[in-house]
Chains A and B, each alone.
Chain A
Amino acid sequence: MFLLLVSILVIFVVLKSLEENVVYFFSPTELYNKEDIPSNKKIRVGGLVKDGSIINNQTSINFIVTDLNNEIIVSYKGSLPNLFSEGKGVVAEGKLKDKKYFIADKILAKHDENYMPPEVSKILKKTKE
């Protein structure tokens, strides 16, 4: 009986922390349309890194996150995960400076559901061009 109660309590706590994270990130379009974001709340934005948008400053790195509809500029100081690259998925965690600018303190690389050997990927890229 006691263990059951403990389990229910744990599940409740887990579900509560899930509430904030059920939507783990907003797309740039969702952020754009969202009315009520306090500028001090930690949120996440996710999408693709726009091709050619990565700019390496001395102090920080800037890039654009796009969902092919809207985009937002992200600024980040720190090391990037290995899989972070142009045209690939990314989730940035931090604060919204304004509707166009996001200051991230954490970057996660997001990969999609496609799995293939490098040779196949090269062939696919060639046929796209």
Chain B
Amino acid sequence: MFKNFFPNKILSFSNKLFSFLIVLMLLFVFVGLIYALFLSPPDFTQGDSVRIMYVHVPASFMALGCFGFMGIASICALIFKIKILLLMAKSLAPVGSVFTLVSIVTGSLWGKPTWGVWWVWDARLTSMLILFIFYIAYISVWKFVDNYEKANKVSSIIAIIGSLNLPVIKYSVDWWNTLHQTSSITLTSAPTIHYTMLIPLIIMLIGTILYTLIVFLMRYKTEIMKFKLDKRNKEN
């Protein structure tokens, strides 16, 4: 059943390539932060408190993106019986959950000076909290369920059901009246964020994606080795 394992590909992930990724990521994040904190302009409404956006938005994107990947991987694993995808999803969950927490915390820090409150139970914020809970549930299954196949099944169900929350999060600001503002970057219209702020944001986003990739690969390698070790132990 593990015909689609790619252990050789992963375990021979040469240190050179990995180091290159890390250096690239550090470059993007460093340049992004310089722009975010110093070189980019303050906002005409929010002043300097807008600078939290350069961390909050990439974190939010990753929070959603990681869970989306986990959901798709779980469905594909179910339909096409590609078991390796479940291991990939398992490897992505921790970094995704951390980014969800970062999104919520930075959002809260941003909300206090701008909106006047740390938290409101509007659709956007609440659905993000629900996403975090789904992440925790997913990770908890792997921690507390001993049977590997059972953990696979339950966590996949959590990933698939939790994915239904993703369009809710994305469109919550359009479907309902929310305190959180609508999207500044959409697929259908021009961005409502000035290029002097959009470019640092994109730099930070690329840096964040690279970071996620690096942490995912490290985790994935560990998970595969752990799996092989467990398999060998069971056979003995």
Q: Could you tell me which A residues sit within 8 Å of B by CB distance?
A: 1-4, 7, 10-11, 14-15, 17-18, 20-27, 46, 80-84, 88, 91, 107-121
Contact = CB atoms under 8 A, between A and B. Distances in A.
Contacts of B115: 81, 83, 108-111
B116 A109 contact: yes
Interface residues of B, number: 44
A115 B122 contact: no
B177 A14 contact: no
Majority SS of interface residues in chain A?
mixed
Contacts, number: 129
A117 B133 CA distance: 37
B194 A7 contact: no
Contacts of B145: 1
Interface of B: 41-46, 50, 53, 113-117, 120-123, 126-127, 129-130, 133-134, 136-137, 140-141, 144-145, 154, 158, 176-179, 181-184, 192-194, 196-197
Nearest to A3: B140
A108 B116 contact: yes
A107 B120 CA distance: 12
B176 A115 contact: no
A11 B41 CA distance: 40
B44 A83 contact: no
Contacts of A113: 181-184, 192-193
26 contacts: A2-B144, A3-B141, A3-B144, A4-B140, A7-B140, A10-B133, A11-B134, A17-B126, A18-B121, A21-B122, A22-B176, A24-B123, A26-B177, A27-B177, A46-B177, A82-B113, A82-B114, A83-B45, A83-B116, A84-B116, A109-B116, A113-B184, A114-B45, A115-B50, A117-B41, A120-B44
